[in-house]
Amino acid sequence: MRTASSVRAGRRRWFLAALADPDSPELGRSLAEVGAAVAGDAPRLVLAVASAVGPWRPFGEVRLDAERGAHLDAAPAFDPIGNVPPGLRAEGLIAWLRDSGYRGSRRARGASAQSGGSTGFTV
């Protein structure tokens, strides 16, 4: 599993990714399999950064520790494109598509730009 995003810091382009942790339980390919993995253990994703020619360098992790009920799961509204850390800017076609998708989703649900307990930026 991998998801990547391109950002620019000054004149340098970086790629940020959430990668499968090889030491973590497999998440599976369906929501039911992800739910079973989370119920059995705390799967992890590795957060990593790379340049266009460099290797992935880990800098953090995300732990999936429990399923949330439908009410809690529906509440969060985050925007990883509009809430990047200071000095970075999201770029590229994927960033444009994500920006449009996140805005449309929030508008359809009547959600604010940043909710669900997140107080900072999302990468």
CA–CA dist 85, 7 (Å, integer): 10
Does residue 74 contact residue 87 with C-beta atoms inside 8 Å? no
Q: Spell out the domain ranges in the chain.
A: 1-67, 68-117
In the three-class reduction of DSSP (H, G, I as helix; E, B as strand; rest coil), residue 92 is classed as: helix
pLDDT of residue 115: 52
How far apart are the C-alpha atoms of 60 and 123, rounded to whole Å? 11
Q: What is the mean pLDDT of each run of 10 residues along the chain (123 residues)?
A: 76 88 84 81 87 92 78 68 80 83 81 54 43
Q: How high is the pLDDT of residue 58?
A: 95
Q: Is 44 helix (H, G, I), strand (E, B) or coil?
A: strand
Distance CA 87, CA 81 (A): 13
Q: What DSSP string runs through 99-123? A: HHHHHHHHHHHT--SS-TT--S---
Supply the pLDDT for residue 114.
58
Residue 112, pLDDT score: 66
Residue-level pLDDT at 74: 66
